[in-house]
Structure 1
Amino acid sequence: MITQKTKYALKALAVLTDEYDAGRKPLQIEEIARRSGAPKRFLEHILLEIRNAGILRSVRGRNGGYALARDPAQVPLSDLLRRIDGPLAPLPCLSTKSYQRCEDCADEESCRVRRLFAEVFWSYLLLLESLTLADLRGNKIDSLPELPELPQGQHAG
């Protein structure tokens, strides 16, 4: 599950992706907050963190603000999620970037818990690694199958 912080980051980056596509100038935090629906006080910290990762650039001055530093098609969403939320894997022994052997596991090869989660996680990871900021435009998301509707009062997670 992604955090609220990541949701705000993605909403802000969707706005900045639209601006990148239109070739417009950087946007001030107030405008990004207004258009994304993310609170300004959270965005200040989030955008600074993303800028420090090299995904955004900031411009000072009267016409300053934030803009994408790279083509949205070159920014994997998985990198952004890892930067904000940490490892993506449900178990540390499945992580591709932050691998750690589980302390309570005698043998990873025969670990039933690891094997159960590995197949689902790798499928999830393959899809996630294929998504970029450019996919926030909606074209890839629009082609995904519709999720089944849950009966009222039930949650999918």
Structure 2
Amino acid sequence: MYSLFTYLVNISVKFSKKSEYGLRALIELTKNYGHPITRQQIGQRQNVPVVFLEQILLRLKHAGLVASTRGVQGGYALIKLPSKVTLGHVIRILDGPLAPIGCVSKTAYQKCVDCPYAKKAHCPLQHVMGGVRNAIADILDNYSLEDFISGMNESRRSPAHRTMARR
């Protein structure tokens, strides 16, 4: 029998290496804001495999966050203000929606197919997982690349993060 517990165990709220490496690359680009740096420099400074950086930086370029310049003085540079780029925005670019399950996504809703509650009027998971999505988004959408570099301002932290910090 398919139980709610089994369903919850199969849900993973984990971001991909792509997002991790992308955030590391953007941290390096933020540190060097206004000056292009090469993939090799980013990889070396942030301990990120250069092979992955090409795909990640290309996606960030298509999203309008970074620009590339060819030549000896070339490389990649952050073109948006670091204060305007949130971690949530970056993760959505690289991984897609923040929602742990498709039926609670605000940007990429997917009807549940294998959920035992899919055909019922009320799903207990939607309420809980919607809260999880909101908490994740609240934290990630309130931290910018600038916050990573200059230190996080306590007043900008979300209520969920302040609660976690007290534990």
Please tell me the TM-score bracket, short chain as reference: 0.7 to 0.9
Displacement over 3 Å in runs of 4+: 141-148
Instruction: Please list the CA deviations of residues 53-99 of structure 1 after superposition, one character each: whole Å capped at 9, or x if unmatched.
Output: 11001111110000001101111221211111121101112111111
Of the three residues 128, 139, 151, the one matched with 1:127 is 139
Q: TM-score, normalised by structure 1?
A: 0.81
Distance 1:147 1:30, change over 3 A: farther
Q: Which of residues 116, 129, 151 is equivalent to 2:128?
A: 116
Give the AA of the match of 1:33: G
Give the TM-score of the pair, scaled to structure 2.
0.77
Q: Distance in 1 between matches of 2:78 and 2:72?
A: 18
Partner of 2:54: helix, strand, or coil? helix
Judge conservation of contact 2:104–2:130 (CA < 8 Å) in 1: yes
Q: Deviations over 1:105-132 (max 9, x none)?
A: 1245x21111122223212221221122
For structure 2, the residue ranges without an aligned partner over 5 or more in a row are: 1-13
Structure 1 position 101, deviation (Å) = 2.5
Give runs of aligned pairs for residues 1-16 of structure 1, distance below 5 A. Answer: 1-16=14-29
- Distance in 2 of aligned mates of 1:107 and 1:37: 48
Please tell me the root mean square deviation across aligned C-alpha atoms, in Å: 2.1
Structure 1: segments with no counterpart, 5+ residues = 149-157
